[in-house]
């Protein structure tokens, strides 16, 4: 296979206190390879992970750079804690680039082995720039200090085949296959803006390559545009202290304490070890939070058909270790083994399906009106192997379905696809069309923001309705939580830096159910703390799930149980024990804020990152249609009386909908004001020089960007 185009030798840097001190730069236009130093400045200001990614990306691009510009980079880094094996969720890689969906930086976190093996091969971060003329693959041999760039013609397009072939190619024998990790996309990436990156890890019990995804924002589309078929890393010899931790004894102690919690409490709490994140499907439906039929409703009686119990008893293999990095006792990466496919190019084959995670079951299930576990698993498989971001696909398809059912587009305009809610066969056919770049599949792959334009300009759809029901902000599709009744979460989505993804803040229970955030200031404070805290996981190489998807038995005794103080202390201890530094909880937040504010300024530099970019579609804030109002009429009528002193008995339905909209949009404006104040931003959403100075980020290049906006 493949002619070697470049053969590069290097001396792998040994990791010291969590950092190798080197980053790898490859330009695939001219096949140049360079080593860069990780400076003390970078560690101080950006910590690692997403921080390093954004810093390199900033220097690679200009305000004119678009996703397919040669200078755009895909940058990835695992962070200083990444790769330890004594605690759960320590193999997360952060990937950044300029997104085809948002035209600004996207960040996406992903498990799998690639990031840790890359670090142990001597690289804290990896920049991929340029565009190759031919399809190539890049192989990094971390044991022998060798990087090869090869021609990659005639390799399979789809991830499950490609990863298996490359894993076998580079492994010396079956035992060696666990030492290989592949990053690739799938056949959709050449036709759609929502192509994602698969990160593989070999499962020796099942004898298959498994995947986790850097899914959001079109990263796979960018990889394909660079004509890079795959990145492969090989490192043999993972062991507990490859990070050369300053205090291994503390890491062991904290790890043992945590693993005991998992063992003793998980079955009483979230059952992550049985079902993974999909444990919340029924709960979300019962609390009116499960996005159903394009976020119109928050649940459906049919959800019982896709309940956790159904997946546990009928589909998911139980009792196997399912961590996506060594040492993860949360073990939430569940699988349906020997699953028989019934459609598409692999119909009739039995495969292992990684999932479903919550987003999959909610998005490809309820939000499309599909309450069929078998169909969800088949959609799940094809999203993964085709390299589709299933969140963008699900939310985008839900939007298309509603447009169709409301007569905004016709079956003929969709090439004959009968994309009504609940028609899983049509959903699968749309995926197959997308993977081949045919018909309506190619149009659907544009994403909601561009689809709205097509539907209005070419199909004559109503622009206001499409604006109201198209669930995207900044060009990125919403992730899968209904949230009309939580003002804080409306902000948590629409004011998230990269677009409406819940990995910054999930405040629905605190706000809507617990009523812990009664004032704008309370909500703004939560919309400061949680994003700053959760950003930190992406700086250091950690998964967010072990933070609060299991909690200590005595967590209830603490002053702020939602923050799980003991686990926060674990994180402080782990960081200090790995790096030898001495941060506290307050410094942890500052580390995050430095990168958070940097990313906001980066958005400003790319022509985004202002108030105008933080508005939500009205479907996020309240009832767009009569059906939605009527579904919660009692609540909405009460709110007219209590909040606006209006008498709903004297109003017709349209008047009630209009009054509710005026009120809710005003509430959202007030929330924006409060959040901007708390985050140290101007009324227009620009970080102030004073705030940047307070956190040590008044760097000249940042001030140059914001000063014209003040």
Partner 1 sequence: MIKVNTEDFPWHPGMTVRALLDEKLFTFRHIIVRVNGEFVPEEDYEKQLIQDGDDVLVLHLMAGG
Q: Report the 10 Å Cβ neighbour count for 189.
A: 27
* Contact between 549 and partner 1 per CB under 8 A: yes
Q: Is 42 helix (H, G, I), strand (E, B) or coil?
A: helix
Distance CA 543, CA 135 (A): 33
Alpha-carbon distance values, 465 to 105, 302, 458, 469, 617 (Å): 29, 27, 16, 6, 10
Q: Indicate the residue among 515 and 612 with the shorter CB distance to partner 1.
A: 515
Helix (H) and strand (E) counts in the chain: 28, 17
Task: Tell me which of 8, 459, 509, 663 binds partner 1, using CB under 8 A.
Answer: 509
Q: Could you tell me which stretch among 263-271, 349-357, 455-463, 571-579 binds partner 1 (CB under 8 A)?
A: 263-271
* Contact between 287 and partner 1 per CB under 8 A: yes
* Contact between 618 and partner 1 per CB under 8 A: no
Residues 474-493 contacting partner 1, CB under 8 A: 481
| Tokens standing for residue 553 | 């038995």
* Contact between 510 and partner 1 per CB under 8 A: yes
Q: Indicate the residue among 104 and 487 with the shorter CB distance to partner 1.
A: 487
* DSSP 8-state secondary structure symbol assigned to residue 43: H
Q: Report the 10 Å Cβ neighbour count for 168.
A: 15
Q: Indicate the residue among 223 and 507 with the shorter CB distance to partner 1.
A: 507
Nearest to 75 by CA among 45, 102, 105: 105
* Contact between 502 and partner 1 per CB under 8 A: yes
Alpha-carbon distance values, 393 to 25, 152, 191, 380, 495 (Å): 32, 28, 13, 11, 22
Task: Tell me which of 32, 410, 464, 514 binds partner 1, using CB under 8 A.
Answer: 514
Q: Could you tell me which stretch among 236-244, 374-382, 400-408, 559-567 binds partner 1 (CB under 8 A)?
A: 559-567
Q: Indicate the residue among 233 and 510 with the shorter CB distance to partner 1.
A: 510
Nearest to 184 by CA among 36, 387, 379: 387
Q: Indicate the residue among 235 and 530 with the shorter CB distance to partner 1.
A: 530
Helix residue ranges, H only, 408-544? 424-436, 439-444, 448-459, 463-469, 487-494, 508, 520-540
Q: Could you tell me which stretch among 87-95, 421-429, 543-551, 688-696 binds partner 1 (CB under 8 A)?
A: 543-551
Task: Tell me which of 252, 269, 467, 688 binds partner 1, using CB under 8 A.
Answer: 269
Q: Report in angstroms how near the CB of residue 485 gets to partner 1 at its nearest.
A: 13
Task: Tell me which of 230, 507, 695, 702 binds partner 1, using CB under 8 A.
Answer: 507
* Contact between 301 and partner 1 per CB under 8 A: no
List Cβ neighbours of 277 (8 Å cut-off, separation of 6 or more). Answer: 332, 357, 358, 359, 545, 549
Q: Report in angstroms how near the CB of residue 318 gets to partner 1 at its nearest.
A: 19
Give the distance from CA 321 to its chain's centroid.
23
Answer for the pair 353, 339: CB distance below 8 angstroms, yes or no: yes
Q: Report the 10 Å Cβ neighbour count for 659.
A: 18
* Contact between 8 and partner 1 per CB under 8 A: no
Q: Report in angstroms how near the CB of residue 556 gets to partner 1 at its nearest.
A: 4
Q: Could you tell me which stretch among 252-260, 372-380, 435-443, 546-554 binds partner 1 (CB under 8 A)?
A: 546-554
* Contact between 146 and partner 1 per CB under 8 A: no
Task: Tell me which of 237, 301, 412, 556 binds partner 1, using CB under 8 A.
Answer: 556
Q: Indicate the residue among 198 and 479 with the shorter CB distance to partner 1.
A: 479
Distance CA 225, CA 99 (A): 12
* Contact between 389 and partner 1 per CB under 8 A: no
Distance CA 377, CA 330 (A): 22
* Contact between 119 and partner 1 per CB under 8 A: no
Point out which residues bind partner 1 (CB under 8 A).
Answer: 268-270, 280, 282-283, 286-287, 481, 502, 506-510, 513-516, 518, 530, 544-545, 547-549, 551, 555-557, 561-563
């Amino acid at each position: 296979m493949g002619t070697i185009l470049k053969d590069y030798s290097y001396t792998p840097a040994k990791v010291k206190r969590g950092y190798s001190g080197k980053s790898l730069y490859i330009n695939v236009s001219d096949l140049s390879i360079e080593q860069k130093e990780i400076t003390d400045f970078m560690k101080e200001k950006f910590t690692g992970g997403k921080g390093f990614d954004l810093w390199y990306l900033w220097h690679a691009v200009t305000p004119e750079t678009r996703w397919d510009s040669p200078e755009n980079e895909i940058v990835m880094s695992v962070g200083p804690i990444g790769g330890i094996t004594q605690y759960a969720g320590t193999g997360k890689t952060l990937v950044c680039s300029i997104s085809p969906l948002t035209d600004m930086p996207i960040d996406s976190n992903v498990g799998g082995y690639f990031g840790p093996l890359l670090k142990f091969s001597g690289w804290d971060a990896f920049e991929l720039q340029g565009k190759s003329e031919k399809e190539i693959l890049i192989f990094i041999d971390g044991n022998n200090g060798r990087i090869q760039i090869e021609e990659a013609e005639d390799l399979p397009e789809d991830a499950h085949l490609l990863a298996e072939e490359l894993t076998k190619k580079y492994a010396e024998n079956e035992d060696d296959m666990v030492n290989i990790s592949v990053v690739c996309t799938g056949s959709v990436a050449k036709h759609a803006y929502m192509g994602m990156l698969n990160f593989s890890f070999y499962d020796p019990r099942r004898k298959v390559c498994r995947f986790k995804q850097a899914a959001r924002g079109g990263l796979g589309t960018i990889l394909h545009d660079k004509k890079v078929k795959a990145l492969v890393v090989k490192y043999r010899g993972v062991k507990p202290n490859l990070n050369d931790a300053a205090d291994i004894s503390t890491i062991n102690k904290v790890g043992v304490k945590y693993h005991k919690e998992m063992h003793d409490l998980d079955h009483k709490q979230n059952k992550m070890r049985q079902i993974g994140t999909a444990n919340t499907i029924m709960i979300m439906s019962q609390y009116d939070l499960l996005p159903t039929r394009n976020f119109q409703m928050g649940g459906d009686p049919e959800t019982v058909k896709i309940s956790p119990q159904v997946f546990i008893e009928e589909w998911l293999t139980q009792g196997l270790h399912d961590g996506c990095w060594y040492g993860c006792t949360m073990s939430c990466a569940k699988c349906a083994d020997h699953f028989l496919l019934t459609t598409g190019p692999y119909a009739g084959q039995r495969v292992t399906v990684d999932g479903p995670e919550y987003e999959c079951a909610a998005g490809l299930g309820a939000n499309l009106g599909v309450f069929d576990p078998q169909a969800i698993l088949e959609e799940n498989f094809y999203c993964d192997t085709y390299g589709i971001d299933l969140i963008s696909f699900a939310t985008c398809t839900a939007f298309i379905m509603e447009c169709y059912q409301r007569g905004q587009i016709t079956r003929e305009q969709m090439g004959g696809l009968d994309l009504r809610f609940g028609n899983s066969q049509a959903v699968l056919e749309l995926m197959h069309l997308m993977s081949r770049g045919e018909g309506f599949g190619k149009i659907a792959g544009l994403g909601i923001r561009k689809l709205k334009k097509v539907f209005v300009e070419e199909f004559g759809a109503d622009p206001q309705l499409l604006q109201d029901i198209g669930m995207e902000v900044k060009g990125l599709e919403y992730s899968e939580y209904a949230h009309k009744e939580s003002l804080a979460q409306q902000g948590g989505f629409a004011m998230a830096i990269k677009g409406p993804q819940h990995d910054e803040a999930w405040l629905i229970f605190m706000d809507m159910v617990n009523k812990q955030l009664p004032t704008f200031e309370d909500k703004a404070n939560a919309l400061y703390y949680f994003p700053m805290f959760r950003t930190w996981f992406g700086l250091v190489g950690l998964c967010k799930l072990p933070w609060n998807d299991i909690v200590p038995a005595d967590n209830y005794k603490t002053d702020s149980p939602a923050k799980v103080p003991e686990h926060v202390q674990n994180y402080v201890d782990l960081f200090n024990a790995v790096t030898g530094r001495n941060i506290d909880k307050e410094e942890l937040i500052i580390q995050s804020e430095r990168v958070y504010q940097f990313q906001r300024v980066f958005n400003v530099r790319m022509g985004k990152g202002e108030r105008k970019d933080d508005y939500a579609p009205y479907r996020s804030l309240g009832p767009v249609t009569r059906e939605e109002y009527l579904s919660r009429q009692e609540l909405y009528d009460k709110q007219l009386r209590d909040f606006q002193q209006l008498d709903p008995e004297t109003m017709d339905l349209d008047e009630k909908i209009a009054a509710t909209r005026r009120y809710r949009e005003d509430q959202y404006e007030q929330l924006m004001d409060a959040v901007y104040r708390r985050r140290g931003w101007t009324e227009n959403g620009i970080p102030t020089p004073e705030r940047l100075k307070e956190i040590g980020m008044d760097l000249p290049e940042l001030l140059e960007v914001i000063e014209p906006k003040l």
